[in-house]
Every structure is written in C-alpha cells, then in structure tokens.
Amino acid sequence: MMKREVTINEGLEDEMEVWGYRPCLWKMILVGVGALCSGGLLLLLLYWLPEWAVKGTCTHTSLREAHTLLLRTTDEFKQWFRAKVHVMLAPGKGPFDSVDLQTIVDLPNGDAVHTFSTVNEDLPEMCSHSQPIQIHYFTHHSTKYYWNDVKQGFVIYKGLEDLKLSCSDIHSDHSSGLSTKLQEYRRQFFEENEIAVRVPSLFILLIKEVLNPFYIFQLFCVILWSIQDYYYYAAAIVFMSFISIATSLYTIKKQYVMLHDMVSTHSVVRVSLCRGNKDREEAMSTDLVPGDVIVIPANGMIMPCDAVLIHGGTCIVNESMLTGESVPVTKTSLPGSGQDGTRTYNLEEHKRHTLFCGTYVIQTRFYTGELVKAVVVRTGFSTEKGQLVRSILYPKPTDFKLYRDAYLFLLCLVGVAGIGFIYTIVLSVMYKVPTKTIIIESLEIITIAVPPALPAAMTAGIVYAQRRLKRVGIFCISPQRINMCGQLNLVCFDKTGTLTEDGLDLWGIQRVEDGSFSPPEVDAAKETLVNTTFMACMATCHSLTKIEGELSGDPLDLKMFSATGWILEESTEEETALHNPIMPTVVRPPKQVLPEAHQNVKNSQNMLFEIGIVRQFPFSSALQRMSVVVRRLGEKRMDAYLKGAPEVVTSLCRADTVPDSFAETLESYTGQGFRVIALAHRQLESKLSWHKVQSLNRDVLETNMEFLGLIIMQNKLKQETAGVLLELRQANIRTLMVTGDNMLTAISVARDCGMIRPHERVIIADAFLPKDTQPASITWRYSENPAHLPDKNSQTVELDLEHGFRGNGQDQSYHFAVTGKAFAVITEHFPQLLQKLVLRATVFARMAPDQKTQLVEILQNVDYTVGMCGDGANDCGALKRAHSGISLSELEASVASPFTSTTSNISCVPNLIREGRAALITSFCVFKFMALYSIIQYLSVTLLYSMLSNLGDFQFLFIDLAIVLIIAFTMSLNPAWKELVRRPPPSSLISGPLLFSVLTQIITCLVFQVLAYLLVRRQSWYEIWTPQSDACNVSHTGLSHHHINVTSPVDHKNIRNYENTTLFYVSSFQYLAVAIIFSKGKPFREPSYKNWPFMLTCLCLYVFLFLIMLFPVPAIDNFLEIVCVPHDWRVTMVIIVIVNAVVSFMFETLVLDIILWRLVFSRDKQGAGRGTPDTPHQSANDRWGSTFLSWLFCQRTKAPRTHYRQLALELQDDPDWPPKPSTVTYASTPHTNVTVPM
C-alpha cells in the first residue's frame, strides 16, 4: 500500500504535512447542486476553507498519483493550503542527474509545464528517442516541490548544496562552468533566475478583498437594510466599505509595488559566463543556474544570485540590504585544499566566501592573468534575498492572544444573535406577523448583535501608534506586531554598537618581551615600535580597503590601524597587470616616524619597512579570529600574523611564548570592561611560494605561533544605556545581554549598565564535552567571592512574580553567565537544565549568530514574550525570530527585523513598549466599546420588537455614524503614557477583569433600559401613540406642541411611539457613558482629557442630546422620528441617564479597578497570593476579602499559567539551586545529572 501522507521541509520553519487527492465526479456534482441551492454561499464557504473544498470534491489517493494536494503547516497555526499537481517532461529525474546531453530537445514553446489535463499529446512522439521522464511537481509560496521516487515524497532543489560537495570538489569539478545544453537542462528544474514579485491587478486584489468574510457580512447587511427601505443607513455602510476597500487596495498595491521595485532594481543584469576553462560569453542573469561560473568585474556589480568565490579572488561587498550593516565586508576565495578543503560546503559556514544575491560588490582584487570567478550555488527564491522576499510575501500569522480571544468573543456575540433570532421568530409568529417581515426582522437582529465596523475600528489604534512611532524614528514593516510589543516582558540586547559605542578607542597595548609582559604603552605609533613584529601585526592584520580614496572596513580594524599611523596603499588595475605577482595591498609607516638612520639611505632601503599583504583569512565569528600572510618587500620569507579572542589565540601559540601571568592580566582588563584582542606571529618557511600560499589551509597556518601581546580597546557605554535599562527593570521587564565578546568583559559591562546590580553575584557556567570515559560536565564558578556579599539569610528579596519570585526565603540575588561553547554543550547534554538556566541567566558571551536565534526560541518556549535589539549585523536571525525585533540602523526600513530605529541607541526600546502598551489597551477599549454598542442596540431593538416596533432608519444612522463611529475612531487617539509601569497590561479578553467589566456594563444597561421602558408605560399620560396623540398637553410647563405630529404620515412600521423615543434617548447616553468609562488613560495611555478630539466629540454629543431632549426642535424630532413627551418625563429621563452613568462608573472604577483588582485579580496574577501586607489589621481584612471574592469569582489558588513562573516557584523551594560554588554537574543519563564538589 502506497504512502498517503508525508512531511515536507521536515525540521524547518515551514514544515508541512501533505495529503494526496484525485477528483471525484459524484462529489463535484453534489457540490455544484449545493452551490446552486445556496445561491453561491457554499462556494464562498469552500473558498474560505480549502480543506473542505478539497475533501468535498476529491477522494484520497497516494501522493504519487495525486492530482490535488492538501497541505497543513505543523506549527501552532495549522494553516491549510491546496496545490495543483503539474507534470513536466525531462530527460532526467533531477537537475544533477547524469543525462545524455545530445538527446535533450526543446519542448514546445520552451515550456515543459503542463497539468494532468493539458499534457501535450505530441510531446512523447517528439521525445521518443530520448525517453523523457514524467516528473510531478507543485508550487507553493514561490517554491517548487518535485516528486522523488526514492524518498517517496516531494523535495526542493535548492542548488549546488544539494550535492553535498566538499570545498575542493567545487574547485576541481565545478570551476570551469556548464555547457549550454546542461544549463538548459538544469533550467527546467530551477527555472529563470529571477525573484519575481508579481504585482496583482487591481481587479484581482478587489475580488480577494471583497470576498473577505467581513465584507460579505456587510453585503448581507446592506441587502437586508435595502429590503427594509433603510436606504440611508445602507448607503452609509456602502460608503464606509468603499472607503475601507479603497484604502486597503491602495495600501496593498503600494506595498506590492515597493517590494517589486526593491527586488527588481538591478535584478536583471548582463553577466560574463565561463564555458569551459577559456571560453567566455555574455548572457542575461536570468539564464543562470546552479553550477554556472560567472566573472565578477573589477568595478563591481549587484549580485543576481548566490555564488561562491574560487581561484584566489577577493571582493569588497556591501551587504546592507541583507543585514542592515553598511560596513563593507571582505569576501575571499573558498579554500580548495587541506583540511578546510575537505569540509562540505555550507552556505552559513562559508558565508565569508559567498557573495549573496542583492548585495553590492564594490570592487575586486585579482592577480596577473587571473579573473575573479564565482560558482553559482543558488538562484531565484532559493537565494538569501529570495528567502527574505518570501518571508515578506508570505508572512506567518501573528500569534497573539488578543486576536484569538476576539474571535471567541465574536462567537459569543453570534450566540447572542442566535438567541435574538429565535426570540424574534417566536414573537412574530405569536403576533401573526407576515412571513416576509419575520424573515427580515429575524435576520436584522444578527446584523445588530455583530458590529460590522469592528475590524476598521480596531485597526485605527494600530495605525495611530504606527504614525507616532514614525515621528520618533521607529519604522515598522509589520504593524500587527505593535500590539505584541505591549506584552514584552524580556528584552535581549546585543552589546557592541547597541549597549556600548559602536567605535572602540585604543586604550593601550601590552607587548610580550622575553616571555613576560612589558608595562602597558599608550602610544602605539611611537618610533621605537616601528620595526617590531607587534607593530607589523597591527598594521597588516585587518580587512581594510580603500574605496574612492577613503579607508573602509570594520570599525575595530579602522581604530587599530589608525593608531599605528601607518599608510595603506592599494595597487591600481594597471599596476596589477604589469607585475607578476603583485602585492595587492601595501602598508608602510609615514616617513616622519622612520628611524633617522634610515632617513639618510636610499629610497630602496626605505622600502624595507613596506609590507605587502599576500593573503587574508577574514575574521570568522565561529573561529573568533583572522589572519594574514605578508611579505616585507625585499625579503624572501613570508610571515603570518594572527589576531582574535585572547583565549583562542593563546591556544594556537607555543606555550613557552605565552606569559605565565596571561590569565591574571587578561582578567584584570576584562574585569574593568576593556575589550582585549591578542596578537600572534609566525615566520613561514622560505620554500613557500606565492602560489602555495594561495592554496594553503588556514588550520595549517594558524598553529605553532609566537604570542606577541595584547591590544586593549575601550568600549564605552552609550550615554542612554544605563537609564533605559533602569527604566525597563523598574517596569519589571527582564533584560539580557547576548554578545560575541569575552565573558568577563560582558559581565563588567552588565554591571556598569545596571543589568547586574552591585550586590548580586554572578555564577559562570563552564561546560565541557565528554572526554574519554568522563561524561559531559558543568563547572559552576562564582565570578567573585560570595563571602564578600551580604549574608544570604539576612536578605529579603522583593522581585515581582511577573518573573516568578516574591517574598522571603531563598536568595534570588544571582545571575548565570554562559559562553557560546557552554551553551552548545548544555543544549546537547543537559537539556533538562537549560530552562532552569535561562530563567536566571543574564549574560551570554561568545555567542554565534545561530546561537542567538536558538536562545530566543528557548526563551519563547518558557512563555516569555521576547524582544531583541541589535545592530542588524550578526543578529538577523534573532531579530526575525523574536516577537519584536528592533534593528538599530540608519536605513528607514530594514527587512532584517519588524522594527527599525534610526536612533542609534536603545532609547527606542521603551518608546516601542510604551506605544505597544498604548495600542494594546486601545484595542481592548475599542473592542469592549464596540461589543457594548452592539449589545446596547440589541437590547433596545429586542425590547421594541416585543411591541412590534423598532428603531427608525435615521435613529440607526445617528447612533451608528454620529455617535459610535466618531467615538470609536477618536477614542484611539490617546498617546502612550510617558512612564513604563511595573504592572503589565492585560493580555486576554477572556480574563476576569475584562469579563467583569463587560458583563457589569451589559447588566447595568439592561436594567436601566428595562426600567425606562416599564416606567414610560406606567405614566398617567401614556397611551398607544397615534398621529393625533399629544402627550405634551399634560405638561405643566406651559410649553405646547399642538402641531408637531398633526401632519405626520401614517407610521406603518410603528417607529413613532413613546417607548421608542425613551429607549433612543437612554441608549444614546449609554453609548457615551461606556465610551468614556472604557477609554482609560493611566497607567498605559495619556488621560482621556488630553485627547481633545475625543473629549470635544463627547461634549458636543452630550450637549446636542440634552438640548433636543429638554428643548425639542420639531425639525430634528421629525428627522429622528421622535414623538413629543411631557417635560416631566424628559426630566425623569435626565435622572435615569445620570444615575445610569454613575452606576456604570462605580462598577468600573470603584469595584473593578480598586477592590477586585487589588483583592482578586492581582493576586491571581502573582500566583497563590504570596504578598506581605503592611499591618495585621490590613492582613486580616485582605485575607477575608480575598477569600470571599476569590470564591465568588472562582479564582481559587492555582499554579501560574506561564511556564517560566511555574519553574521559578519550583526552584524557590529547591535547596540545591543555584549550584554551590566550585561544584561540578555531570551528565549521567539523558534526563538526570549529578552535582559533586570539585
């Protein structure tokens, strides 16, 4: 039996399950009949639910025989997609299969793609001599998946990486290029090398927009109202929908055009292709396929694909489009021999040798007779740029509790509407109402209970927040994440360029002489150092280059080189062609610093101080070092210089050259927050020629070196850092440092900026891989003597349970610090400790870029809402993976993260959280208001239905347009509160406080509407209203309105009556009351009285309603279909609406915000109520009140909902946590560990 379901992209972010289906005739006939009977509604339902559409028209089959595929993502969203299976004919089964190139023939029109129903019958005849193979494939999210008979599943062909080639294989087997025939064959699988962002036509966008369930519901409402002759309100809804659709279409179209323009700029260029070792031809970049070899011109180009450099080529590249980092990067040739050459080529591991699509090659370095060549490894959407574009075109849904709860709440409103629907039918049948009227009125109750304007109203707050963020220099490419920023409770920060200044200042150097450190020297450019190997290493071991006459490169390299005072000169293209071989880059000291003995000799002798850089091994984050091979002009021997992390450099040096005091010296500098770089040197054998050096493995070169000394760089904190971190800590938002720098330097910076406070201890977790018979282990080392800290038992820790701790007991004043190496070991061998560790870990040092992403995922797995702030260079993965990634970049918008701040410091973080909290609270306020609006109107209509009456057309119009819409859009204008408070904003609509708020307001509105309805019917002047009725005459105020209703036409719909007038006035004031009550200000938004559009709207509406209620205007009464009532009843209505407003205010402010929040809901948030009251009397009252109210609201003592709080409570009572100083934890089994003293 063939397999019916497989998983594709297993282990990746876009992992999906796939089922195969084939068309079923009888099911399709049934669906067709159903669509006709339902007037097309069934087709709409199947359009919205693709899984129903496939299952309703097809039957299960094996994937190999499937015509249609049903795909479902395996993440928490479980999204469904359908895909059509196509067939193409090709000589081979895969792009890298060995085929007879002579048998390849062109398919008709150059197109080999056909569906099952459109395979060209003449094709097999044309290709009979080549026996073409039918290959099944489908396309999903701009990616093609091909059927693989061996794996019995669909696979993606990414590029040359699929062959699992070693670096040396790429040099030997793929450096001469492809023939035209082979290129054409591979293009059948990889298609044109183009990141095609198709801009949909306005018609297609309009159809997709109009078929949204929200607009279909509005269409249903408009048709219903039109049948009832509610033309004005229907026209208003149509006008609103038109504006909404037009705005949406304009925004979507603009985004597509912007993305298309960004992608298409220079995406199609002319390239020089290699055909064999010598032949070259010009071609369009769209023709490229993996395996092609292209020539990189000396003056640079925009890369149209991902390609790896070969044969000694070097390029200077600007990768700002991908990383947001505008500092040029040096790319060198892929190693082709030695141990590095045997490694399998990997795009991430060998990114220093790979030119990425969309990046700008500024210039190239090449040697006599050699061209800078690159082998194409990926094309189209498989490239790094293509993946970025795909993530923008097909973003993952935003998993936010607010939206999930909103759907649940809407379902509740639908349930309420269902009750009203049944109630209306029963009542109408009892009163023998005509069938047509019953259908119309029962359906209308649904349009009242579910507010059609809800989505537009909720979007307004996000739009306003986005505008405010733009004003402070924060740009957003994912507006829905603004609300998520309001829930952030943990923020990870990069160190260099984020917490500290981007540039480093040279504090001094400390050289090694005769096996020991000499005293520190501040001036690195003094004459006595010119001819030392230390100075030669400083002047040559970098990746700087000159661009338009200006030195450019890594800021650290620039500072180090400028401190030497030396001059860098690069050969021109003409000079390169004249020499064999030529040193591409030469450094020399300025003439004024040369020793006097050399100033008087010939110029040729002065050249002895000039050093040529023969080869560079660029800095690697994984290796934490870089090296160069140089030759002093006039000498035969070459030298190798190395710089990097001190721990790494010393491990590559001869032990006798490393001073005994190295560890103490390094710790003294890093402990003070300095960034320390170590230098080393090695004299190479004279037999090494230039050509041999070009193929030399860096592992062979970077060994057995001589330790030269240390460069001490000062990395100053940014002025704003400490204040921002203090503000976040006071707001109960946890902060972490994730850096590639030295551990002790990172700890020192963490102390300086306040991440770790002076009295708090730091526990360094050093982890080691298994060795021989010894299992993996963790050594727990305290960075300073705990005895110098206050006594453990005398401390009272008062940390909010938002982070899981509160009250007396075990000391929580500690932080873990972990290196990237230890993090990798713990992840693999101590998975059960990982979550405990990240709960209190604050410093992560020497972290590789992928480890940063991994850390963010682990923090999310313990239910933290994680923010990440970095400079965009090594943080792209983490910035994207975090709930809210903030890139500090001068670019207006970066695809590297959802948020980009043009402010080059972390002050943008609290600004973003403040705006996020304000937008989140605004969303809650608007949702509650819109829900109450629909319920209030629902109550009014239900009461009026009981007497076969209703609200009038213009009453609906006045309520929905003049009151509700204006209020909904102006109540969203409250700016963010200027401070971050400790109390987090609510995260769920389905929570105690919010449900209590909504339900109490519903009950209050119901009570006062029923009260007004019953009271008006008990008045002495009350009668069944007729056009001749004149209740005003019973008033003793002297006012007479004899003629107000005399000429009124007969009211067939029974709109004009005393109950309608009373409920219209009372409900209108209820809308205003709940709007003001729900529009809360502090502590997350500015007070509503500062929102002048909202206050002005409320004031105007209050004045208008009071005026027409107390002093009726005949024209307005006729327009709104209001009848005249006695003045005494008008005064009574004023009293009713005032008492209603006071009761609503007391429930919301006094009962909810003060009593219940303090005694019930806040305790539930803190988990089991572990607070410490101020006095015994208060304690008794609070305990009694809390117990009673907790019982009343079913808020029993229960475990915290978030995983990190549960862990924190468990660890509070664990006597063995944190581990004691100088203990070792061994991994004994996969799920247990043993801790013993050292």
- Which amino acids are annotated catalytic? 494
Nearest to 941 by CA among 424, 377, 365: 424
Q: Distance between CA atoms of 929 and 706, rounded to whole angstroms? A: 73
Cis-peptide into 581, omega within 30 deg: yes
Query: Which are the contacts of 1171, defined by CB distance < 8 A and separation ≥ 6?
Result: 806, 807, 1163
3-state secondary structure 1039-1080: CCCCCCCCCCCCCCCCCCCHHHHHHHHHHHHHHHHHHHHHCC
- 3 state SS of 5: strand
With b for 16 or more beta-carbon neighbours within 10 A and e for fewer, the 278-298 pattern comes to: eeeeebebbbbbbbbbbbbee
Specify whether the CB–CB gap between 140 and 83 falls below 8 A: yes
With b for 16 or more beta-carbon neighbours within 10 A and e for fewer, the 1094-1118 pattern comes to: bbebbeebbeebeebbeebeeeebe
Q: Distance between CA atoms of 1181 and 1187, rounded to whole angstroms? A: 10
DSSP strands (E only) in 319-468: 329-331, 354-355, 360-365, 373-378
Cis-peptide into 1218, omega within 30 deg: yes
R_g of the chain computed on alpha carbons: 37
Specify whether the CB–CB gap between 913 and 486 falls below 8 A: yes
Specify whether the CB–CB gap between 405 and 989 falls below 8 A: yes
3-state percent breakdown (helix, strand, coil) of the chain, nearest 5:
45, 20, 35
Specify whether the CB–CB gap between 31 and 67 falls below 8 A: no
Nearest to 856 by CA among 403, 846, 982, 844: 844
What are the distances in angstroms from CA 459 to CA 212, 248, 397, 483, 767?
A: 16, 11, 16, 11, 49
Copy the structure tokens of residue 1092: 């002048």
- 3 state SS of 512: strand
Q: How many CB atoms are closer than 10 A to CB 483?
A: 28
Q: How many CB atoms are closer than 10 A to CB 1213?
A: 9
Specify whether the CB–CB gap between 462 and 894 falls below 8 A: no
| DSSP conformation class of 14 | T
Q: Distance between CA atoms of 185 and 191, rounded to whole angstroms? A: 10
Q: Distance between CA atoms of 884 and 898, rounded to whole angstroms? A: 7
Q: Distance between CA atoms of 409 and 931, rounded to whole angstroms? A: 9
Query: Which are the contacts of 858, defined by CB distance < 8 A and separation ≥ 6?
Result: 834, 835, 838
What are the distances in angstroms from CA 181 to CA 178, 278, 451?
A: 8, 18, 62
Specify whether the CB–CB gap between 1074 and 929 falls below 8 A: yes
Q: Distance between CA atoms of 196 and 191, rounded to whole angstroms? A: 11
Q: How many CA atoms lie within 13 A of 1135 on its CB side?
A: 9
Copy the structure tokens of residue 233: 């309100």
Specify whether the CB–CB gap between 1055 and 951 falls below 8 A: yes
Task: Report the interhelical angle of 992-1017 vs 1127-1145 (nearest 10°).
Answer: 170
